[in-house]
């Protein structure tokens, strides 16, 4: 009997530790990103940096007969004030296609007004983009820690050009702040599945040991 309770207590401690570990991994993997819907945007916790991969940009004003060779990123803020002061969007990268050199940061000044567009420099694409393959383009970026109210919003778009002959922009994607304590964290299916498999395996091991320790087993 004593062996049984010892195994049970040990098992409970292991499961609790695994649960904490899984939560920690989940938090680290998602950082400040709360949710995201491709083609639309999402929400983020401004108390920590948030990394988004924006996908499925709408065609906006892109022209179907143009093959665009260069790209830049524009952003603007809107929604609930106050403005947080100067900050910089970093780690910008484009894929499908990628760019010949790194995209620059997008830096907001201390007095950037609401809905004022802020951008980086044009960078050459590794292959042309048009309305046919635009849906596969992905933009990754990181929003820093910010002191803003719920509903404060950043909008992003891609501006394409073919050496200046045609310059057109995609539709916007919007990401809005939702401070920690007022949101329900999104469950990451991959992290949740891994944690569940780990816990299930430990429980099976405990049950096997319990049966071996039980009288008459």
User: Which pLDDT tens digit goes with each residue over 106-165?
Assistant: 999 999 999 999 999 999 999 999 999 999 999 999 999 999 999 999 999 999 999 999
How many Å apart are CA 150 and CA 62, to the nearest integer? 32
Predicted confidence band of residue 2 (pLDDT cuts 50, 70, 90): low
% of the chain with per-residue pLDDT over 90: 67
Q: Rg for the chain (alpha carbons), in Å?
A: 24
CA angle 54, 37, 142 (to 5 degrees): 35
Residue 27: predicted pLDDT: 41
Predicted confidence band of residue 24 (pLDDT cuts 50, 70, 90): very low
Q: 91: helix, coil or strand?
A: strand
Residue 45: name the closest of 134, 177, 170 by CA. 177
Residue 109: predicted pLDDT: 98
Tell me: pLDDT of 205 over 90.
no
Residue 153: predicted pLDDT: 98
Which sequence spans correspond to the domains of the chain?
Answer: 1-30+187-217, 33-184
Q: Among positive and negative, which fits the CA dihedral 18, 20, 26, 29?
A: negative
Report yes or no: 47 and 32 within 8 Å, Cβ to Cβ.
Answer: yes
The count of other CB atoms within 10 Å of the CB of residue 195 is 18
Q: What is the CATH number of domain 33-184?
A: 2.60.40
pLDDT tens sequence across 88-109? 999 999 999 999 999 999 999 9
Using CA atoms in the order 33, 36, 40, 44, what is the torsion angle rounded to 10 degrees? -20
Tell me: pLDDT of 78 over 60.
yes
Tell me: pLDDT of 185 over 80.
no
DSSP assignment of 62-117: --TT--EEEEEEEEEEESSS----SEEEEEEEEESS-BSSPPPPEEE-TTPPTT--
Residue 25: predicted pLDDT: 40
Residue 206: predicted pLDDT: 59
Compute the residue count for the chain: 217
Mean pLDDT (the chain) is 83
Residue 72: name the closest of 99, 39, 38, 107 by CA. 99
Tell me: pLDDT of 9 over 70.
no
């Amino acid at each position: 009997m004593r062996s049984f309770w010892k195994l049970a207590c040990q098992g409970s401690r292991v499961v609790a530790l695994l649960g904490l570990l899984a939560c920690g991994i989940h938090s680290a993997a998602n950082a400040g990103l709360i949710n995201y819907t491709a083609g639309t945007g999402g929400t983020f916790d401004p108390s920590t940096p948030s990394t988004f991969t924006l996908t499925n940009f709408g065609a906006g004003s892109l022209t179907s007969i143009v093959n665009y060779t260069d790209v830049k990123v524009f952003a603007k803020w809107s929604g609930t004030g106050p403005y947080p002061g100067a900050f910089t969007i970093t780690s910008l990268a484009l894929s499908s296609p990628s760019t010949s050199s790194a995209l620059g940061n997008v830096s907001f000044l201390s007095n950037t007004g609401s809905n004022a567009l802020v951008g980086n420099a044009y960078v050459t694409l590794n292959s042309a983009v048009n309305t046919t393959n635009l849906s596969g383009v992905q933009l990754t970026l990181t929003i820093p820690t910010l002191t803003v109210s719920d509903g404060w919003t950043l909008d992003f778009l891609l501006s394409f050009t073919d050496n200046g002959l045609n310059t057109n922009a995609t539709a916007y994607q919007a990401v809005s702040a939702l401070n920690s304590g007022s949101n329900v964290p999104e469950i990451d299916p991959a992290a949740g599945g891994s944690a569940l498999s780990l816990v299930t395996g430990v429980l099976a091991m405990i049950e096997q040991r319990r049966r071996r320790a039980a009288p008459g087993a």
